[in-house]
Amino acid sequence: MKTTLIKIKNILGITELQLNGASVEITGTNGTGKSSVIEAIRYALTNSIKRDVLIRRGETEGEILIETDTGLHINRKARTDMSDYKQIRQDGKDVGSPEAFLREIFTPMQIDPVEFTRMTKAEQNKIILGLIDFPWDLAWIQQQFGEVPKGVDYSQHILQVLNDIQAEKGVYFQTRQDLNREIRTKRGVAETIAKDIPAGYQAEKWEAFDLGAKYSVLNGMKEENAKIERAKEYRASIDGKIRAFEAERDIEINSQAKAIATEREGLKLSIERMKAEIKAAEDKLAGLDGKLADKTKLAQSEYEKKVAELKQNADVADKWAEKQKHDVSQLQDEITEAEAMKRHLNEFARMQGVLRDVDKLTADSEELTRKIELARALPAEILKTATIPVEGLTVENGVPLINGLPITNLSEGEQLDLCVDVTLSKPGALQIILIDGAEKLSDANRERLYAKCKAKGLQFVATRTTNHDELQVTQL
């Protein structure tokens, strides 16, 4: 799909400009409006700009119109005194979920490949990972890990999920950016209007004008438009939301199951420990009664024997009195040691319980290690069946590689080639590349990029700073 018409009017530095769908290079010195062309096309495709004020100074409306050879019609109008206008039609019929539709027909790498070559490693990797198509759901996650891991945004790409990539494309982050962008735009519009009040301004007429009532109607219309847009976006994001709801449910179930299992194991261990302590105490208690009985019996027997022998046979007593006593120190030491060791039985049993706990924790740790290693290995398995749009693209440890090299290791020319290959790889995509600031490239890389685009039949709109005082459009 290629453009057949690009028409820009009263946007940034452009009064009116029309392109016929051919590849062009737009040249001129700074301030002649070169980048305004790129920004206008960016606005048409993404509804966003890099600058605070979009409409040309002194005007109340700016417009960008794009038509393609497939019957696609894109028309956006930014306005100062009413809500912005948007019309996305295909073969004369309105397109459902237009913003989502536009995101499907182009990639961020087409908007400005020069900017892509100057992105951070993380930004480049995130864009490349987004090109890989692999069907998955929460059941697949559950099957791989035995649970749905916490702390992951499951509406992201699967490789981002596996590598816990920061969700810079999340709803809150994007919504905040959109709001800040809208605030900056409106402030800039207000400042521009205040500085350039036209001659012959009829103050009495406008003082009597019920601006509050008009704004009330306008805000009502904007609120309805916002509801409509949110409803359409909601329809487009139902699958992601369902996955998020499923994740919340499964995470809660798994969490409770683990908590109950841990509590159960703890109670079982406590019961076993208490049983061991009770048994040891009972054995010791029973032994004390027997020991006391034996000691009492022995003492009484000795007493009776000695008294009887003393009374009955003094001679025998004298003979025994002359004999040497037995050395009982060794036996007493053995008994003392045994008694001391028996006192450690309860602590030993407790130690065994602790060692069992250690074994269980070690097993849990090893299982976590297995899951971590699984998360690191899964991307390679995914890439065996995933739809990969660029030849030579692989992923290792969450890092995309082109022919075995990280994106940052590619030369500037190779990164530009990658942008072209990505643009050509997507069926039904808008076959156009926007190159803002081609003078930032070396002459060789610029000519190489232009030549590859022409050889592949890929349309491009490039800007390059020169010494010309006026904007020049050269068809290539």
Q: At what angle do helices 138-145 and 238-312 cross, to 10 degrees?
A: 30
Q: Using CA atoms, how far apart are residues 318 and 76, in angstroms rounded to an integer? A: 130
Contacts of 346 (CB under 8 A, 6+ apart): 276, 277, 280
Q: Using CA atoms, how far apart are residues 98 and 120, in angstroms rounded to an integer? A: 30
Count of Cβ atoms closer than 10 Å to residue 406 Cβ: 14
Pair 455, 132: CB distance under 8 Å:
no
Give the mean pLDDT per block of 10 residues along the chain (476 residues).
93 91 92 89 87 88 94 93 91 89 82 79 76 81 78 72 48 40 52 49 56 57 59 57 68 80 86 85 78 75 62 55 72 72 63 67 70 70 72 73 83 81 76 88 89 88 91 89
CA 129, 131, 132, 135 dihedral sign is positive
Residue 129: its H or E element:
helix 121-129
Domains of the chain, start order: 3-106+430-475 (3.40.50.300), 248-381 (no CATH)
Alpha helices for 152-237 (secondary structure H): 158-162, 171-195, 203-208, 211-236
Pair 7, 65: CB distance under 8 Å:
yes
The pLDDT value given to residue 136: 82
The pTM is what?
0.50
Dihedral, 387, 388, 389, 393 alpha carbons, nearest 10: 180
Pair 232, 327: CB distance under 8 Å:
no
Pair 377, 151: CB distance under 8 Å:
no
CA 206 to chain centroid: 51
Pair 436, 467: CB distance under 8 Å:
no
Pair 232, 96: CB distance under 8 Å:
yes
The pLDDT value given to residue 305: 67
Q: Using CA atoms, how far apart are residues 473 and 244, in angstroms rounded to an integer? A: 49
Tokens of 434: 């926007």
